[in-house]
Amino acid sequence: MPRWRLPTCASAALAAAGLLLSGCANPSVGSANDDPTKPVTLKFWHGWAAPGEVEAVNASIERFERLHPHIEVESTGNVTDATINQALRAGGDKAPDVVSSFTTNNVGQYCDSGMWVDLDPFLRKTGIDKREVFPKTLLDYTSYQGNQCALPLLADAYGMYYNKDAFKEAGIERPPRTMSEFKRAAKKLTVRSGKDSYERVGYMPNFRLYQGSPDRLFAQWGPRYFDADGHARLAEEPATYDFLKTSRQLADAQGGFDDLEKFRLTFGDEMSNQNAFLTGKLAMHLDGEWRGLMLDEAKADFDWGVAPLPVPDDQKDTYGRGFITGTVAGIAHSSKHQNAAWELVKFLTTNTNQVVDFANDIHNVPSTYAALKSPRLDADPRFRTFFRILESKHSKALPPSTNGGAYVVSLQDFSYSFEAGHVSDLRAGLRKLDDQIDADTLQSKS
């Protein structure tokens, strides 16, 4: 299932809650002096909630307990980051020992505050070289300023689903690879049903659509959000201008933002059988690897494929890249059983068979090199497209920040205004956006 793009209000609330972390965490409360061979009960909190996902988590725990019969794991699902943060600030016997999060944006806060313990000492004492186990992009979003306070627990890679039947009808032989090809294909695939309505659009560039948050597509440019000193530099980044202008050109090629927005409002819920790609209203669609399983379960009545998203014309050599995120796991600073907790984190994140089984069960991308090469993985070539996107050296994740996802929310809000035509001076608007991000970062450190 997807790592949800949080609505602005929820993101802002979590970001605001995150501002409390720097002053409230007490890393000295817990202990790494426990004997992991002694009987113990660990509390594991996670965010999975769908019945199939919970079943897969429980199966993972059963496999762990068979290997470690002296360690019992009490699993609690459907837990939000806000709830975890409150529990870790409070500490005590009711707080979790092992935690996981879908929100990689908050890793900077977890590491900087000490709320999640640094895992490098545990990796070293068990002889695990993290650079040989995990792809670099995943290590980037699980650490902050040298503190590896989390490890990847499966990943999400974003690519482009496309309707092969619509492509054949339009005479398009293969998925577009550059932004120029993307615009031409989108226009050719668009079918009007009247002056201001559609039967189908080639690609919906609207930033409010499903997983279409601007940071997803922006990753195709390989942008740098911050400079070496941590200051926002979107106004200085040439890719920002090209990205926003390209998104507008995609809209204009298919009738313009107003008509597309009106059509978007007719779409069904993202996770239902009324999803716009499933119902044929979209010929190309940005989404994550989980969508394929949902299309199969819904018995889509058209032939579909998966390809990497197109890249800028002047970066053709980066084709195959995509946006990367995923679930992360760590050890609570307040846990008095940190060595036993490490045994669970180590099993969930580095045991090849476990990572493969879990990836197959919930249709997420494996997060270790060894698991990605396992013959036991789901052999569907469409699913495996996301493996190649994950392994691309050009793929990008969002950089961690001490203010969590606040800077992503700011980018979303600005992008909404831009696409609707409410930004008259793009350069001035981006400078103001940088100032806002820097002010939010400064506040989070005060």
Domain identity same for 224 and 259: yes
Domain identity same for 284 and 298: yes
The answer as to whether 3 is a domain residue is no
Determine how β-strand 98-101 pairs with β-strand 40-45: parallel
In eight-state DSSP terms, residue 400 is: P
Domain identity same for 113 and 169: no
d(CA 87, CA 102): 17
Q: Which pLDDT does position 4 carry in this prediction?
A: 40
Domain identity same for 30 and 110: yes
Other C-beta atoms closer than 10 Å to the C-beta of 441 total 19
pLDDT band at 195 (very low <50, low <70, confident <90, very high): confident
Domain identity same for 278 and 216: yes
Domain identity same for 185 and 135: no
Domain identity same for 240 and 133: no
Domain identity same for 171 and 268: yes
The answer as to whether 412 is a domain residue is no
Query: Residue 135 corresponds to which tokens in the numbers above?
Result: 């792809």
Tens-digit pLDDT profile for residues 400-420: 888 778 999 999 999 999 999
Tens-digit pLDDT profile for residues 221-233: 999 999 999 999 9
Tens-digit pLDDT profile for residues 292-320: 989 999 999 999 999 999 999 999 999 99
d(CA 98, CA 110): 13
* C-alpha to C-alpha distances, 128 to 122, 125, 132, 134, 227, nearest whole angstrom: 9, 8, 8, 11, 31
Domain identity same for 285 and 313: yes
Which of the two residues, 217 and 1, has the higher pLDDT score? 217
The answer as to whether 403 is a domain residue is no
Contact 73, 58 (CB under 8 A): no
pLDDT band at 31 (very low <50, low <70, confident <90, very high): confident
The answer as to whether 14 is a domain residue is yes
Residue-averaged pLDDT of the chain: 91
The CATH number assigned to the domain holding 240 equals: 3.40.190.10
Tens-digit pLDDT profile for residues 361-381: 999 999 999 999 999 998 889
Domain identity same for 168 and 23: no
The answer as to whether 413 is a domain residue is no
Q: How far is CA 83 from the centre of its chain?
A: 20
Domain count, the chain: 2
Q: What is the mean pLDDT of the segment spanning 237-247?
A: 98
Q: What pTM was estimated for this model as a whole?
A: 0.89
Inform me whether the pLDDT recorded for 22 exceeds 70. Answer: no
Q: How far is CA 134 from the centre of its chain?
A: 16
The answer as to whether 59 is a domain residue is yes
With a CB cutoff of 8 Å and minimum separation 6, the contacts of 108 are 144, 400, 401, 402, 403, 404
Last residue of a domain, one of 366, 391, 416: 391
Q: Which pLDDT does position 28 carry in this prediction?
A: 43
Q: Which pLDDT does position 327 carry in this prediction?
A: 95
Domain identity same for 165 and 187: yes
Domain identity same for 149 and 206: no
Domain that holds residue 145: 8-156+324-391
Query: Residue 204 corresponds to which tokens in the numbers above?
Result: 């919906």
Q: Is 16 helix (H, G, I), strand (E, B) or coil?
A: helix
